[in-house]
Structure 1
Amino acid sequence: MKKLKISALFMAVLLVSVAFVPAVSAQAGSQNKEYVDAIDISNNIPISEEDLKKAMEKVSETSKNMNVLKETDKEKIVSFKKDDGSIAYVISWADEKNPNRTNFAFVDQSELVSKKLISTASLNDSSAVATVISAAKVSFWNGSYLETYGSATTGGVHIHFSAKDGLWLAGGAATAAVLLGIILDGPLPFGDAIGALVAFGIATFYWAESNSDNSIDVSIPYANALQYPLTGHVSMKIGSHWYTI
């Protein structure tokens, strides 16, 4: 997993300047449904200068309050400050049984103490916190994961957010933009920037596209991600429909 490479200003502009485009498209066979081109029906969202300023400040603040506690080829742990001021962590790690899958989980600092995994006095020791989270990561996992599928030309990335993580992401787009950039960076071309678009999509369409158990799935073909530098947008499948965000 690559090191964190997020420009707060760039992420803020992406987060608030996107126009979402519902897509209506005929579905191909089950193996090709992620590759179907969307038929765009533009539906622009006006963004005021005030909203832009607030978003820039929020993402900038989030980025400044993030620290990489541990990073190896198979695992990454980052701390961040939530909207309410409390500290939380995101951990992503390679799945031992599936080489194409990366599991991830969000952990509140209060959980470490309530489960008696670490003392309150040791919370300022980044190394100790990282060691505890790494050892207990499976107990914090709610079933969220990222997996790659297909080949470099016909494949892409599928992300499954558990009910708990999906609800959390739906309510915190600015923070989610940065965190998803961490998770997507590496498996997906331009993933650190596309994370903002995914966060915006989940925040906008969560209640319409979530599964019956409140989890939600997002699929992004590599080919679509590669178009991002040219268009500033990415067509992705959120739930059962395609959107260009």
Structure 2
Amino acid sequence: MKKLKISAIFAAILLVSIAFVPAVSAKADISQNEKYGDAIDISNEKSISEEDIKKALENTNKISESMNVLSETDNEKIVSFKKDDGSIGYAILWKDEKNSNRTYFAVVDLDELVAKKFVSATSLNDSAVIAAAISAAKSSFANGSYVETYGDNITGGLHIYFSPKDAGLIAYGSSTIIGLLVTVLSSGYVTPTVGSILGTLVGLAVRTWYWYEENSDGSLDLKIPYANIATVIVTQHVYLKIGSHWYSI
């Protein structure tokens, strides 16, 4: 599993990678690593303080902790959770059959399940029935967001793709998708602690820079090198590529 590979190389790259994970206000040094040469100092454009990060982390943890696993197999997990408005929502994580390194995730619209007759309106209080319906309907979420690995254990990292709907929800302040992202990251890519911190930082990054870096269809791509993931617990900061530019947060 990727989280084991990340742990295995942690000690070897810690001293090297920590040079690339300064505080929010620091810029990348081109002489240290050219691939971060276009990193942008976001501190002069947007204010993201330690307090902002702390509050976002608390909120993300609250969402993640409220998730209840309804059904789980080697390739699929279905959860319920408390949404931002206090109501109960449902979500699914599932492995791509053709690419085991990619995991899709999607928040489920129960009205859509009823409309497509995957479940009857009278069965919406039965979590087991809902879980079965979500599993059967997962092909309907084929355009959902996903997490996948790229490159090798040293030069690679994680690629996170947010669908137009999910990217927009995060940009407008929703914590639900970020809570789900933390669950995805912690389900095979990184440890739960790293997943929580990483998901929080990704959420702040999307809210700050989505309008500058979104794709033409409103979706968003992010890349985070393993070298930066390995030090996120120590630094509480990360370099990540949003769209076509590198940012520190």
2:189 counterpart residue number: 187
Q: Cα deviation per residue 1:108-149 (whole Å; 9 max; x = unaligned)?
A: 222222222212332222221111111110112324222111
Query: Cα distance 1:25–1:136, how it changes in 2: closer, same or farther (>3 A)?
Result: farther
Q: Do 1:173 and 1:200's aligned partners in 2 also have CA atoms closer than 8 Å?
A: no
Q: Cα deviation per residue 1:5-26 (whole Å; 9 max; x = unaligned)?
A: xxxxxxxxxxxxxx75586787
Query: Cα distance 1:52–1:98, how it changes in 2: closer, same or farther (>3 A)?
Result: closer
Q: Which structure has the highest helix share of the two?
A: 2
Amino acid at match of 1:82: K
Q: What does 1:46-195 correspond to in 2, within 5 Å?
A: 58-59=59-60, 62-63=63-64, 65-185=66-186, 186-188=188-190, 190-195=194-199
Q: Cα deviation per residue 1:145-174 (whole Å; 9 max; x = unaligned)?
A: 221111111111101111122112222343
TM-score by length of 2: 0.75
Amino acid at match of 2:209: F
Residues matched between the structures, number: 223
Q: What does 1:3-82 correspond to in 2, within 5 Å?
A: 20=24, 36=36, 41=41, 43=43, 45=47, 58-59=59-60, 62-63=63-64, 65-82=66-83
Distance 2:54 2:248 in 1: 24
Amino acid at match of 2:141: F
Residue aligned with 2:85, SS: coil
Residue aligned with 1:152, SS: coil
Query: Cα distance 1:228–1:106, how it changes in 2: closer, same or farther (>3 A)?
Result: same
Distance 2:29 2:57 in 1: 34
TM-score by length of 1: 0.76
* Runs of 5+ unmatched residues, structure 2: 3-22
Query: Cα distance 1:239–1:134, how it changes in 2: closer, same or farther (>3 A)?
Result: same
Distance 1:158 1:175 in 2: 20
Aligned-residue sequence identity (percent) comes to: 53
Distance 1:242 1:63 in 2: 27
Query: Cα distance 1:161–1:177, how it changes in 2: closer, same or farther (>3 A)?
Result: closer
Per the TM alignment, residue 70 of structure 1 is displaced from its structure 2 partner at its CA by 1.6
Distance 2:24 2:128 in 1: 41
Amino acid at match of 1:157: L
Distance 1:65 1:150 in 2: 34
Which one has more relative contact order, counting CA pairs under 8 Å at least 6 apart? 2
1:242 counterpart residue number: 246
Q: Aligned-pair RMSD on alpha carbons?
A: 3.3
Per the TM alignment, residue 219 of structure 1 is displaced from its structure 2 partner at its CA by 0.5
Per the TM alignment, residue 227 of structure 1 is displaced from its structure 2 partner at its CA by 1.0
Q: Which runs of 4+ in 1 moved over 6 A?
A: 51-54
Instruction: Verify: 1:205 aligned to 2:209, yes or no.
Output: yes
Distance 1:147 1:48 in 2: 28
Query: Cα distance 1:73–1:47, how it changes in 2: closer, same or farther (>3 A)?
Result: same
Query: Cα distance 1:184–1:60, how it changes in 2: closer, same or farther (>3 A)?
Result: closer
Q: Cα deviation per residue 1:19-39 (whole Å; 9 max; x = unaligned)?
A: 75586787xxxxx99x54665
